[in-house]
Structure 1
Amino acid sequence: MIRKHRSWPRQPSGSVLRLFLCALLGLSSGGCAEADDRQPLRTGAERAGTYLPLLHEQRVGLVVNQTSRVGDRHLIDFLRAHDVDVQKIFALEHGIRGDVENGGKIEGGIDGPTGLPVVSLYGSNYAPRREQLADLDRLVFDIQDVGVRFYTYISSLHYLMQACADYDVPLLVLDRPNPNGDYIDGPVLEPEFRSFVGMHPIPLVHGLTVGELAQMINGEGWLEGRARCELTVIPVAGYRKSMKYSLPVKPSPNLPNNVAIRLYPSLGLFEGTTVSIGRGTEFPFQVTGHPADSLGEFSFTPRPIPGASENPKHQGLRLSGDDLRSVGESSRFTLDYLIDWQRRTGEGGERFFSRAAFFDKLAGTDALRLAILQGQGAAEIQRGWQPDLNTYRERRKPYLLYPEE
């Protein structure tokens, strides 16, 4: 693990102007965030002067998607314009253009716009094979995460780190802010519930950036055989965890805006139940609904949406429920929605948890489901997590790159 602590220069005046206009117009500025008193925010990818020398005369593989931007340019185009020898692209869930639905098949082949070979790392091949890394001197990871354990980009990061450790390929992580990074909450994953939707003993809302988590994976010995990957993280300049951060590009097809991203930790658990969270609509992860509900004042009908949700839950049925789009961008993880719906569907507990094993993997434990079935309230359940959360707070401290406030 290589941690770098330097004093970085201020952003050029053009970027300062961009941040000013962003604040004036309420727009994103390559991820617009509250201004820091010391320096404006720059993602790892925007700090080219820091990492381009590391890529000089290197054969480079990229792990990127639609969020991998340097200003208005894709990282692929930016690096090639700076004479970086990009050899191939590795595609994670949703593909390199972000147009493949959740769980959809990611094909390898050739990237049309660039002509570069694409290697799929989703489906049957989560980690690069030795021969897929043999012609590379360095791997670069630049993917926007949302700070929730079951968002699978961080699982892909784990497999990439394992491959880099096994085959002696250095990994460069270009860090990005965490839009749910201002708090931690939820159950810490128990080892027996480890899966691709949860690989590490961290809370459901973990409060780490990808770069911080990569350092923690290395430092805590979470790779197989306690292997360590040669890791360099380019931190975000001018970032602190309390910042509100608006993503300039949606990170996946069903997280289209800031409200969906903030509700995602709470509503993601519904994927293991009979309740729809709006897949197959124009407002996924912003509504809840069920065919048998009679209490909701909002209704919607899930329909197939190519590239986003081609077979949504309750397809073609009119669902009654709740419109959560007005909750605002300060929403935090809560069990209130889940417990309320478990009661109001009229279904027995086991029927409500229609995919119980998957729910437990998302939660990282079966204790949450069992507590709800036993009639425990949200406050009581969440109090039970506090000792594990306190232990986690201390455990993560050596790997933090950014101040809390």
Structure 2
Amino acid sequence: MKKTIAFVLLLISFAAQAQTTSVTTGAARTKDYLPLLQGKRVALLVNQTATIGQTHLVDSLLKLKVKITKIFSPEHGFRGNADAGEKVGDSKDAATGLPIVSLYGKHRKADAADLKDVDVLIFDIQDVGTRFYTYISSLQELMESAADNNKLLIVLDRPNPNGHYVDGPVLDTAFRSFVGMQPIPVVHGMTVGEYAQMLNGEGWLNNGQRCELKVITCTGYTHNTMYKLPVKPSPNLPNMQSIYLYPGTCFFEGTPLSLGRGTDKPFQVYGHPDLPKNLYQFTPRSVPGAKNPPLLNKLCYGYDLSAVKPAAKLDLQPVLKAYQLFPKKDQFFTKFFNTLAGNSALQAQIKAGKSEAEIRKSWEPALSKFKSIRKKYLLYKDFE
């Protein structure tokens, strides 16, 4: 048995090294966390990004004789192909027969019944480093479940593709939601492992509780590493350009405009039928991962950012430009805009015609405070 496990570990190591990057993810460092799983009943909160080389983490651990009792799934589901916000129910994994419990929708937090046959929890999901990308909210609620039920939580860390800067408005806690649970900026510059330590250390979990936490770090990663994701993290972030643009273009989710869902350039184009007709044209269609996108089958006019070199900052220009061009100013913002922004100030600033420089200056006091807190929890060399 020991020889078999050693051989499987060797194969996993080779698979991890075969990736095009010099970074080794926490998941690939099986020797560092396998002892914590031996003789334990294990549940994992994972999706399609939880891989070691080309193999899913669940399959790797089963080969290593780890006793997995169930899988928890986040937004977009275990296989990562559900639309944003789409209801994902409980099911069974066809490949392994393991039960899948959805932790998205009304049942977002694992309860005592879910954990009665679990000794250890594992979190392994690729994040993209923005406050409104819901996987860090799922992480917090899993940490609270672990604390409530006295379970060890192991976070298998992965690089943050937007981890090379910190930017954007810091959330006003009056605007807490599942797309923003803590007073952090839109771009927080932390891996999920670092953020988990912050949640614990700052007493941000429910009732100030602390979770028994073990972070398996990456090797070969710093906050200056421009890491190319081997698996797309969700249906509408298909490439690195979409991931780099996402912190700024996601604000269009709080407007009547399309940000390219239903095209081959989601989060890389934006537009509306009422913008000037001499601009870039596209038409959202019903496609897997965007079955009913905004402005479905309507010809939109706007801008294509797919070839623009992204800067290490949250780019407000697309939203500012769209507001200037949109003819019905009183209909530009939906209620969701303030939820995404994490405040009411940004909308007011845009309506008042403030420049990007003026808006960015207003972020500085809260950003400086956050940066000083952030440094306490970093596990990797910073970009500064």
Aligned to 2:258: 276
Aligned to 2:5: none
Matched, 1:45 2:30: no
Please point out which of 301, 304, 317 is paired with 1:336.
Answer: 317
Aligned to 1:22: none
Deviation at residue 379 of structure 1 after TM alignment: 0.7
Aligned to 2:358: 380
Number of positions where the alignment pairs a residue of Structure 1 with one of Structure 2: 373
Could you give the per-residue CA deviations for residues 131-165 of structure 1, whole angstroms, max 9, x where no partner exists?
A: 10011110000000000000000001111111110
Deviation at residue 331 of structure 1 after TM alignment: 5.7
Matched, 1:321 2:302: yes
- Report the AA paired with residue 105 of structure 1: K
Matched, 1:142 2:124: yes
Matched, 1:351 2:331: yes
Contact kept? 2:18, 2:53, Cα under 8 Å? no
- Report the AA paired with residue 383 of structure 1: K
Aligned to 1:394: 372
Contact kept? 2:90, 2:101, Cα under 8 Å? yes
Could you give the per-residue CA deviations for residues 279-316 of structure 1, whole angstroms, max 9, x where no partner exists?
A: 1111101101110111653211111113x111111111
Could you give the per-residue CA deviations for residues 2-58 of structure 1, whole angstroms, max 9, x where no partner exists?
A: xxxxxxxxxx99579736xxxxxxxxx3xx3xxxxxxx3100001111011111111
Matched, 1:210 2:189: no
Task: Return the alpha-carbon distance in structure 2 between the equivalents of residues 244 and 15 of structure 1.
Answer: 21
Task: Return the alpha-carbon distance in structure 1 between the equivalents of residues 243 and 71 of structure 2.
Answer: 26
Aligned to 1:25: none
Task: Return the alpha-carbon distance in structure 2 between the equivalents of residues 240 and 106 of structure 1.
Answer: 35
Aligned to 1:240: 222
TM-score, normalised on structure 2? 0.94
Contact kept? 2:16, 2:53, Cα under 8 Å? no
Aligned to 1:362: 340
Contact kept? 1:258, 1:329, Cα under 8 Å? no
Task: Return the alpha-carbon distance in structure 2 between the equivalents of residues 301 and 368 of structure 1.
Answer: 29
Please give the secondary structure, in 2, of the residue aligned with 1:341: helix
Aligned to 1:124: 106
Contact kept? 2:15, 2:54, Cα under 8 Å? no
Task: Return the alpha-carbon distance in structure 1 between the equivalents of residues 49 and 311 of structure 2.
Answer: 22
Contact kept? 2:13, 2:28, Cα under 8 Å? no
Deviation at residue 230 of structure 1 after TM alignment: 0.3
Task: Return the alpha-carbon distance in structure 2 between the equivalents of residues 293 and 126 of structure 1.
Answer: 39
Long gaps (5+) in structure 1: 1-11, 20-28, 33-39
Deviation at residue 332 of structure 1 after TM alignment: 3.4
Aligned to 2:18: 18
Matched, 1:312 2:290: no
CA RMSD of aligned residues (A): 1.6
Task: Return the alpha-carbon distance in structure 1 between the equivalents of residues 155 and 299 of structure 2.
Answer: 44
Aligned to 1:152: 134
Matched, 1:256 2:238: yes
Task: Return the alpha-carbon distance in structure 1 between the equivalents of residues 98 and 44 of structure 2.
Answer: 11
Moved over 6 A (4+): none
